[in-house]
Each structure stands twice: as structure tokens, then as C-alpha cells.
Chain A
Amino acid sequence: MMFEAIVIIILAVILLAAAVYAVMQKDLLYAVIATGVISLILSVFFFIMQAPDVALTEAAIGIALTTIVFIITIRNTSRREDEVPMDHEPDRNENDN
């Protein structure tokens, strides 16, 4: 039982780290792969929590399909998050809150 708990904690740390990486990474391809990692760990989580059906689904859809859809999108748009804006319109919206 305690083994499960330790695994969970370790996985949780990796999971959150992957999530933070996915959000912070400027290169979207890596970010997308990080989301794949999130799905992977999530699927393990589901498995540990006695949900094999969900784990299977998450594995097939979360890891494979979602990732590939993201990658196709990146291929069709821009790969870098900090792409140079096409029109140099001053960003008036930065502090409108």
C-alpha cells in the first residue's frame, strides 16, 4: 500500500513538472509532448486507482490522438509561442484589467 503512495507522489511531482513545462515552454512542439506526458502519467494514475477502462481511453485518446492533433496544428500554424506579430499594432490590451 505504501508503495502505491510513494509512486503516486513521485508521479504527481513529474505530472506537475510536466504541466508547468508544457505551459512555460516557448517551443510549442515540446509543450505538446509534455502534454502527452501528462496524459501518460494520468493514465497510470487511473490504473492505480482501479480504473482500467479510463486508463485505456486516456492512453489511446490522450496520449496518441490529442498529441497528434496538436502537432498537426503546430505544423499548420507557428511553432514558437513568441512568434513575431505580423502587424506591429501596439498592444493596448496589456493592462486593461
Chain B
Amino acid sequence: MDLDYNQIMSIGVYGSAIGLILIGLYAVLIKKHLTKIVIGLSIIDAGIHLLFIAIGYIKGGTAPIFSPAGEKIVANGGVMVDPVPQALVLTAIVIGFAVTAVALSLVIRLYRHHQTARIDQIKSLKW
């Protein structure tokens, strides 16, 4: 094992993030069931969120929360991880949930209307 920590971590984190994105994409592009497609979308979202957090991570950093003890952690030469990606991902997760909920409600309505949830059966609008 001549891989150092950073390489392992980047393979592990980036790899799983990109893997999630690709797997999700596969589900969206290939799977016919609407629910499966929505699952794919949420997997893509998860991958991107992971990627975002990974980008903000700093080796040896601590969470950007000032506990009473370590109040001057930055000044003392300590490191904190980048807080901005975390804040953004927080927002993105909630938005992702909202979109998923709307998507699933549409799936329910499509199923009611067409009695099927296969996307290739639902194409009364075309050309």
C-alpha cells in the first residue's frame, strides 16, 4: 500500500460521489419506472452534495463551530473546514427534498391517470 491518506480519501470520497452521480444518471436514463427515475434523481443529488462537502473539507480541520474551549482556534493555528459548502449543502438538501416530493406527487397523479408508471407508456404529448 503505497497510497497515502489523501489518495485513499480522495478515491473513497470523490469516487463514491462520482459513482453516485453516474449510478443515479444511469437510473434516470435507463429505468422505465417513474419512481425509479425519481430515485435516480435523488441519488444524483446525494452525489453532488457529497462532492460539495468533500471540496470544503480541509485535512485535519475541525467543524466550523466555536466551542467555548477552542474559541480562538483559527488564531491559534488550528484549521477549520470550509463552512460555506456546508451551508450551501444544507440549503441544497432541503431543496432536493422539495423537488423529490413534487416529483413523487406527479408520479402518483400520472399513475392515477394512465394506470401505469412506465415512462415510455406516458407520451400522449409528442412532436
Contact flag (A, B; Cβ within 8 A): yes
Measured between beta carbons, the chain A residues less than 8 angstroms from B39 are 22-23, 28, 31-32, 35, 70
Distance (whole angstroms) from the CB of A60 to the closest CB of chain B: 9
Measured between beta carbons, the chain A residues less than 8 angstroms from B19 are 12, 15-16, 19
Contact with A along B24-47 (1 / 0, CB 8 A): 101100011111101110110010
Between A and B, 29 residue pairs with Cβ closer than 8 Å are: A1-B5, A4-B9, A5-B9, A8-B12, A12-B19, A16-B16, A19-B19, A22-B27, A28-B33, A35-B43, A38-B46, A42-B49, A45-B16, A46-B50, A46-B53, A49-B53, A49-B57, A51-B56, A62-B46, A62-B97, A66-B97, A70-B38, A70-B100, A73-B107, A77-B111, A77-B117, A78-B116, A85-B116, A87-B116
Measured between beta carbons, the chain A residues less than 8 angstroms from B78 are none
Q: What total of chain A residues lie within 8 Å of the partner, measured CB to CB?
A: 53
Q: What total of chain B residues lie within 8 Å of the partner, measured CB to CB?
A: 59
- Given A16-B20, A54-B53, A76-B111, does the pair A23, B26 have CB atoms closer than 8 Å? yes
